[in-house]
Structure 1
Amino acid sequence: MTQGDFSIMIHNVSGSNFLAFGSFYDEPVSTDPFHLISRLQMVHTKSVDQLYSYPCEIHLELTQGIASLLVGSSPRLEELKTFPIHHYVKLKPNTYFNLIVHSEEIVCNLITPNVHPTAVKLAVPYLYQPFFSPFNVLEIFDSYVSQVTEFHFRSTVHDYYELFYVIDGSLTLNMAGDSRTIEENDLIICGPHQPYPRQISSDTFCNYLTVVFDMGNAERIHFLGQTFSCSESIRSALDKLIAQSLSHSYYTQTLMLCYLQEVITQLMQLTDTLLQPHSTPTSQQNFQNDLLQQILAYMNKKVAEPMTVEEICHKFFISRSSLQSLFKAHLHTSPKNYLINIKLQKSKELIQENRHTISEIAYLLGFSSIHYFSRLFKKYYNMSPSEYAKQVSEMNKSEALSPPQTECYNERSE
């Protein structure tokens, strides 16, 4: 299914971006005998498989429950937007819409002239993606501040994450054979299943924080093993975490989880800025390269499945603008164009296999319609998919009719 990713951008019907589709109002509209009022009762659903459009203005008045409006100027999936409904809504003529129900059920009045709507079946159902945290700090197992001089500590291997934050001095970590020294105000988060021996030389002193914790959805964390110099806001959250670790109040554990979640979220925001197209140091460049390779591998793996740019942003927890910058800087194209390109290349392979119709291929690759697929195919390859299929068929026939070639060997006399 194609995901309409509501978690990336939350629109509001009272905002300017809704004006292309209609407007909102606060008091129920007065109706006259020429209007038809339909009382809609709908149950909870996460997907929408068709849209409706009226040739005139219509009113939607939600009276019970919570819902979002899926709306667009056309029924193309890539152009649809979602808006939570907090007001009564008036839609412009020829606007395509449907309701996504979040509560157990809703009651909504649909006020229209006595005309029939146009119903459009979506090529791929629109799947509502609820807003949620991209990761969760589930539990803190240990948290302590060490103030030490010369020492060498060999840690055990475990299934959890470790955060190291140097308050004063310097600390050397051995990470898979790579010796890494982190200085005052530096922070690093290490992944599970690895020992992290720590060492402080005899002529130095180190005051550092260690937090051992578990995370959910940790595959979205792309900066494990990277060293960060803490900003003032990250340092403030760490100071609060340290203060709570020394406290024994009823809410200590809850607050520690909150502050650690804040630290990791700010690190995510920081890595997001590293993706912007400016001159970057080697470490930042390596980060961009690694992330880009992960994204490209994911796109190529999922190419035969419906996929959107919003889904990619959601999967790798980066903003759409940062994804655009990353592709422009390294591939000189946009994510959307790259996605279209690999889908069209895959479509040629599927046509060559001759196991699916053109319509089935358009559906398999997540194009909103066969017409949209055919238009893009012709734009890229100067021929329609059916013309390409005919060309492939003729080539196959020609090869089948060609006589088999024999190879001649000259035997050399001994």
Structure 2
Amino acid sequence: MAYQSVSLDQELFIKSIYTIHYYEYQNDFHFDGERHDFWEFQCVDTGAAEVVTDNGCHTLSRGQVIFHRPNEFHTLKATGKTAPSIIVISFSCDSPCMEFFENKILTFSETERSILGRIIAEARNCFETPLDDPYLEQMIKKPEISFGSQQLLTLYLEELLIHVIRRYTIAHYSASAGIYDPCQTTSDTCRKIIHYLEQHVRETLTILDISRNNMIGRSQLQKLFREEYQCGVIEFFSRMKIDFAKQLIRENEMNFTQISDFLSYSSIHYFSRQFKKLSGMTPTEYATSIKALSERPQRQN
């Protein structure tokens, strides 16, 4: 049998990069503003900054990032309290998924900050123009550039944006595999309810919420899940949330308190009790277990 190649879709593609800057501002810095026909984001590394856009005035603190769509007016100034350090990257990208970033103020995770650090480091390898000139409009490449440096800049930026989109839309993905596979049931109603639970896995739901939003009686709902999964719908949903928590622990992006908040548990203590009850180990025990380590996504050093 002859081998056949597989064509892979490229859902996010950076066409070109305009600027990559890391500024250490004075506490009275003020940039009057501009608009241009390409994307830009401003990320606060230290301190705080105030940004004015077509949509209003925003104050950003450490780790926060604001995205400006093409032709969106934006200014930047220090808040006057502390001298901020700001990373500004502008680029051209026509991919439809960039709609996600419109009118968004987000917070980069530690992994995303690490990727951003690699972008800055690679930019220093690639460009001879300084990265700390806020008024620079054209970057000049070095006469001799390390092999692959220019390509890595694009790849790192694409990785960063993809990582952010996936992390912030994670609730739209299946919370777990195994018993929650909707193909394992022949009931259309059950498949519909499982999909509903997955879409609301970050929330706190009651039987009344589930029955009302799926137009099914409470007794019928309980009977359906006991027949299909040998447990009530709330226990099913609780196990789904804990399996999602395991996924988040393996991804190593949040601490236990953040995961508890992310999944709308009333407290870290209640989250830990539920985790222990349904998995047989505490979150800490799971995080250091061979099972969790073997399933954790591999990262480059």
TM-score, normalised relative to structure 2? 0.49
Greater strand percent: which structure?
1
Q: Higher helix fraction: Structure 1 or Structure 2? A: 2
**Quick check: which has more Rg, 1 or 2?**
1
